């Protein structure tokens, strides 16, 4: 599924998700598309740093009821993407 990652300062990135669980998910890099200023980040296509609080919005999903913003935190970065932990438990 495609997810919009909203970074501090309002910049957004579209990414593909994989390995979704009740506690978090993994987003693949490279970025599908990006917009906005990342306020100190080195570029619109760079991942946020570990510990950064972000918001997620499902852009393309299997169900129609997937438009809520989900608060999450970056917990790991690797060559393939970033791992996020849901801050308020699993999305409903």
What is the extent of the structural domain holding 52? Answer: 2-86
| CATH number, residue 68 | 2.40.10
Does 92 map to a domain?
no
Residues 19-74 have pLDDT tens digits of: 899 999 999 987 777 787 544 444 567 789 999 999 999 887 655 555 678 999 99
CA-CA distance, 36 to 84, in Å (whole number)? 21
Tell me, yes or no, if the pTM score tops 0.75: yes
CB atoms within 10 A of CB 84: 25
Does 79 map to a domain?
yes
Does 80 map to a domain?
yes
Does 6 map to a domain?
yes
Split into its structural domains, the chain has a count of 1
CA-CA distance, 4 to 15, in Å (whole number)? 6
């Amino acid at each position: 599924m495609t997810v919009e990652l909203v970074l501090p300062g309002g910049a957004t990135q579209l990414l593909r998700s994989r390995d979704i669980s009740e506690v978090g998910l993994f987003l693949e890099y490279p970025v599908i598309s990006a917009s906005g200023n990342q306020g100190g980040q080195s570029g619109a296509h760079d991942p946020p740093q570990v510990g950064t609080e972000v918001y997620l919005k499902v852009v393309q999903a299997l169900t129609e009821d997937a438009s809520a913003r989900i608060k999450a935190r970056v917990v790991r970065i690797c060559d393939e993407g970033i791992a996020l932990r849901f801050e308020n438990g699993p999305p409903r």
